[in-house]
């Protein structure tokens, strides 16, 4: 990717990830000065230049002030439509199975325990899928920072992954590809290094969403 200085493209400091003002970019000399960390760096046609990424389509920005950051998104994706109908069929089969197993039994003749216990793993899968689909319809993820604390919340239905992290403890942020796929498309995760340990901050993202979040979180130190 070569340098571009028009439209929405903005140069970002490679040291602190702060946006570099246009007045601090010398196109003729191919150099720039970052006022946030006083770093002077060069760029050219053969060098990759970081640019400010646009807000992903699924995200809604929350304006919380010059030193604050906030964004949220609804979980539902159109790819879940097939999973919705699959879940209905799966649960219906289980209901039919147990209705038949318990039909006609009397007080002296309990249903066969093998018949009751055989599909227990299928029941667990059905409950998990059903809860996931309900959550995907109801839940939103909200990522926010007041300049010192980064908070990640999923709700209103309970879901794992809620986090509160000090911005000053967030040493590094990167994007990793995960194996889980939706409609054949890989999903990505934003990983942060906190106290020397990798922490999965956000998962199940498209590549552009993960890259945008990585850039925003890396830029928190310079806000």
Mean pLDDT for each consecutive 10-residue tract of the chain (223 residues)?
39 68 74 77 56 82 70 90 91 86 62 72 91 94 90 95 91 79 74 90 89 85 60
Q: Domain boundaries in the chain?
A: 1-52, 55-75+141-222, 80-137
Q: Cα dihedral sign for 207, 212, 213, 218?
A: positive
Length of the chain: 223
- Between CA 160 and CA 125 the distance in angstroms is 18
Residues forming beta bridges with residue 60, ordered by sequence position: 72
CA dist., res. 54 & res. 162, Å (int): 25
Q: DSSP per residue over 31-53, as a string?
A: EEE-TTT--EEE--TTS---BPP
pLDDT value for 218: 81
Q: Return the closest-CA partner of residue 141 out of 155, 151, 159.
A: 155
Q: What pLDDT shows up at residue 134?
A: 94
How far is Cα 187 from Cα 206, in angstroms, rounded to an integer?
A: 6
State both tokens at 191: 């990983």
Angle at 167 between CA 161 and CA 168, to 5 degrees: 135
Strand order in the sheet with 140-145: 59-61, 69-74, 140-145, 149-155, 163-166
Beta strands in 156-184 (DSSP E): 163-166, 170-182
User: Tell me, what's the pLDDT at 66?
Assistant: 55
Q: Is the pTM of this model over 0.85?
A: no
End-to-end Cα separation, the chain, in angstroms: 26
So what's the pLDDT on residue 187? 84
Give the C-alpha separation, 121 to 127, whole Å.
10
pLDDT at position 207:
84
Supply the pLDDT for residue 99: 80
Report the pLDDT value the prediction gives residue 106, as an integer from 0 to 100. 53
Please identify which residue in the block is written with the tokens 């007041």: 146
Nearest to 175 by CA among 204, 144, 137: 204
For residue 222, the model assigns a pLDDT of 59
Q: Which positions ≥6 away from 24 have C-beta within 8 Å?
A: 32, 33, 34, 35
The pLDDT, as a whole number, for residue 177 is 82
Q: Which CATH architecture has domain 55-75+141-222?
A: Roll (2.30)
The pLDDT score that the predictor gives to residue 223 is: 60
In this structure, the strands spanning 40-42 and 149-155 are unpaired
The pLDDT of residue 62 is 78
Helical (H) or strand (E) element with 188: strand 185-194
């Amino acid at each position: 990717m070569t340098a571009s200085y028009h439209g929405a493209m903005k140069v970002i400091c490679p040291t602190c990830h702060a946006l570099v003002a246009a007045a601090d970019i010398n196109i003729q000399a191919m150099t720039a000065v970052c006022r946030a960390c006083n770093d002077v760096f060069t760029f050219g046609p053969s060098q990759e230049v970081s640019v400010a990424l646009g807000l992903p389509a699924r995200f809604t920005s929350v304006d919380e002030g010059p030193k604050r950051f906030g964004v949220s998104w609804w979980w539902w994706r159109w790819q879940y439509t097939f999973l919705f109908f699959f879940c209905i069929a799966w649960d219906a089969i289980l209901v039919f199975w147990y209705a038949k197993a318990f039909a006609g039994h009397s007080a002296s003749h309990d249903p066969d325990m093998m018949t009751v216990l055989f599909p227990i793993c299928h029941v667990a899968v059905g409950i998990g899928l059903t809860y996931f689909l309900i959550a995907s319809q109801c839940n939103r993820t909200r990522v926010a920072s007041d300049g010192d604390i980064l908070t990640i919340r999923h709700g209103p239905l309970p879901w794992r992954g809620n986090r509160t992290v000090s911005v000053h403890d967030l040493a590094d942020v990167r994007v990793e590809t995960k194996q889980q796929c939706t409609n054949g498309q890989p999903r990505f995760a934003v990983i942060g290094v906190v106290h020397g340990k990798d922490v999965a901050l956000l998962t199940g993202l498209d590549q552009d969403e993960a890259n945008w979040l990585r850039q925003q979180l890396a830029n928190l130190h310079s806000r």
